[in-house]
A and B are shown apart, each in its own frame.
Chain A
Amino acid sequence: MSAVVAVIVVGPLVAAMCGLLSSRHEVVRDIITMGSLAVVTGLAAWLLVVVNTDGPVAVRVGGWDPGLGIVLVADLFAALILLVATATILLVELFAIGQRRSAWGADPRLAGPILLVLTGGVVLAILTGDLFTLFVAFELILVSSYVLLTHQGQRGQIRSGMTYVVMNLFASTLFLVGVAFVYSATGTVNLALLAERIPALDDGLRMGIGLWFLVVFGTKAAIFPLFSWLPDSYPTAPTTITAVFAGLLTKIGVYALIRFHVLTGMDALGPVLLVLAGLTMLVGVAGALAQDDVKRILSFHIVSQIGYMLMGLGLFTVAGVAGAILFLVHQIPIKTVLFLVGGMIEVEAGTSALDRVSGLAARRGFIALMFALSALSLAGLPPFSGFVAKLALVDAGIDAVAIPIVVVALVGSILTLLSMAKIWLGVFWGSPVANGAGVPPAGSADLRPAGRRLMSVATATAVTATLAIAVFAGPLWEMSQRAATDLIDPTSYVAEVLG
């Protein structure tokens, strides 16, 4: 099994290099990108099956002991998120190949290989078993995402790219200082050893470490009040890039937050997390209501939804953390789908501004259907995946007698539905205007029918996947609960890493 983990981590990076080398041959490049992503996704699925039956897998890189070297650990939580993340990137790449010929697409010579580097970073962040490698993975993600964000060199992209990179580099610096802080306090950066040593520290030091990493991961995850970089920078990037960012980057921050804070037993931070969760939900959704562009509305929703995962974490119960994990599993594909639909709107109408597009439901029923399904799921209406995930969280909140946060979560859901209705009214209803009032972008005309079909297939597959989450909610919930149990009581994790 350790070979599978090794290939999942190193494979995307080697494939990225091969992709760069063959940047002049379109077909070869696409085969390398799609092929390697498909292989990684397949291996991730296999890993999940194995971990689900046999327990966590730990790989000691170079054969070094956990205290000295790097350990890669695939427990149930990691394997589950890994599969969802890689499958999502695979679908986005399929969409990107279809969108190649439109002006909204990313430069494929660069975007494919750099997307693979980003995948390598995401995979490493999910599988790593120590804090310093997590830092390296975050840097890998940051550098590649900065390239993806700004590689078209448009004015808006460079401007908001600056905000993005400055905020994130600041968080990275804090991260590095925090790693030194943890090392001097405990003498290790290995997560399994930290799970034993941090709870033994005295309260002040423990809370200091917990709050420090809350700021670090909170900036990456865009929680209130550290989210300001997100709604500004995401909408400027090409659609496929924004879709990957929306689905993955902030979620990796949440993943690290859950991994670190639950594993090291930061229960005392629960109330702080719950207050931040409530504020993140409300401020994010209020921001979304004030926007008048599809991509900007969706960007504020990324922030708002982060609050729900934070709520599950803040409860620090098995049900709460399991709810957060299930929400993460639902949120990665659904956010990506919504941005892909936003991209299709852009390609069709030449803009994503609400007041310049209308009547798209009559012209493109398929896009309307895709949007409706994923928007209802985001708002948390039955029978979609969002309902399952939110029900789990609300249930956990009531069990833990945290009524205020449950009320905030439900209000947030209603407001989410309201802003989704705003997009629906603006974009899909009304009388069809040819190409909206916007000017069709140069290059949208030569979008080949095959390309449009590929985009539809990718979006439809992703929507189907989110519906599948609702259908298989039972087994997924059971799996999330076991993953949460292993995080809260890390005996099996520690035994596998150190044993």
Chain B
Amino acid sequence: MIASTSPIVRLGVRAASPLALTVAAFLFFAGHNRPGGGFAAGLVLGAVVALRTMAGLQRPTHATGLLTAGGIVAGLVALAPVVVGSPLLDQAVVETTVPALGKIKAGTALVFDAGVVLVVVGMVIAVLDGLGAEPLSQPSSPPVRRGHP
């Protein structure tokens, strides 16, 4: 792939990655009351993974693990309020004052969103894995059936 042999692309992606991660973190926390949230943050993270994969900086792995872990976390957080008699997907909100940041309001919806992030990133990795796992130049071998999508 041309992207993986170009030093400009590699350097650019490497430099942009921390910035993109910051944007993802911002979107993740902003999502409580403003546009953003777990899905948007997951997409930005997924874009980082996709860029780094194309630039040859990392290999996409652990798709199934991320997907399932995210799904289980989100599902259990959705179900948790039911145990204490609250409606499905209800959340507990915590409000504290932290010295440097001032008043902080956070809910268990954050954990749910974290699950969503994992699902989205896992999905992106699974797609990358499925689309371009093997280099095209290799001699064609019989397709291997995989255990995950």
| A residues at B contact (CB < 8 Å) | 2-3, 5-7, 9-11, 13-14, 16-18, 20-21, 23-24, 59-63, 72, 107, 109-110, 147, 153
Which residues of B12-69 have CB atoms within 8 Å of chain A's CB atoms?
Answer: 64-65, 67-69
Nearest B residue to A110, CB-CB: B149
- The yes or no answer to B148 lying at the interface (CB within 8 A) is yes
- Give every chain B residue within 8 A of A59 (Cβ-Cβ): 87-88
**Count of inter-chain pairs, beta carbons less than 8 A:** 71
Assembly CA distance A456 to B76 (angstroms): 36
Closest to A17 in B: B71
Q: Give residues in B with beta carbon < 8 Å to A.
A: 64-65, 67-69, 71-72, 75-76, 78-79, 82, 85-91, 143, 145, 147-149
Interfacial chain A residues near B76, Cβ < 8 Å: 14
Chain A residues whose CB sits within 8 angstroms of the CB of B87 once the complex forms? 2, 6, 59-63
A61, B149: Cα distance in complex, Å: 30
Contacts A59-B87, A62-B87 given; indicate if A20 touches B75 (C-beta within 8 A). Answer: no
Residues of A within 8 A of B69 (CB): 17, 21
B148 near A17: Cβ-Cβ < 8 Å: no
B90 touches A20 (CB 8 A): no
Is A17 a contact partner of B149 (Cβ separation < 8 A)? Answer: no
Q: Which of B64, B65, B88 contacts A62 (CB 8 A)?
A: B88
A6 touches B67 (CB 8 A): no
Q: For the complex, what is the distance from the CA of A23 to the CA of B79, rounded to whole Å?
A: 24
The 6 closest A-B pairs by CB, nearest first: A17-B71, A14-B75, A6-B88, A21-B68, A62-B89, A17-B68
- Contacts A6-B79, A7-B82, A147-B149 known; A20 to B88 CB distance under 8 Å? no
Question: Can you spell out 12 A-B residue pairs with CB atoms less than 8 angstroms apart?
Answer: A10-B75, A10-B78, A14-B71, A16-B71, A17-B75, A18-B68, A20-B68, A21-B65, A62-B88, A62-B90, A63-B86, A107-B145
Shortest A85–chain B CB gap in Å is 20
CA distance A278 to B75 in the complex (A): 44
Q: Is there contact, CB below 8 Å, between A10 and B67?
A: no
Closest to B64 in A: A20
Q: Considering the chains assembled together, what is the distance between the CA atoms of A9 and B88 in angstroms?
A: 10
* Contact, CB under 8 Å: B67 / A20: yes
Q: Tell me which residues across on chain A come within 8 A of B148, comparing CB atoms.
A: 20, 23, 109-110
A394 to B32, CA, bound (A): 55
CB of A174, distance to nearest CB on chain B (Å): 24
Given A18-B72, A23-B148; 7 other pairs, CB 8 A cutoff: A2-B88, A6-B79, A7-B79, A7-B82, A14-B71, A17-B68, A17-B69
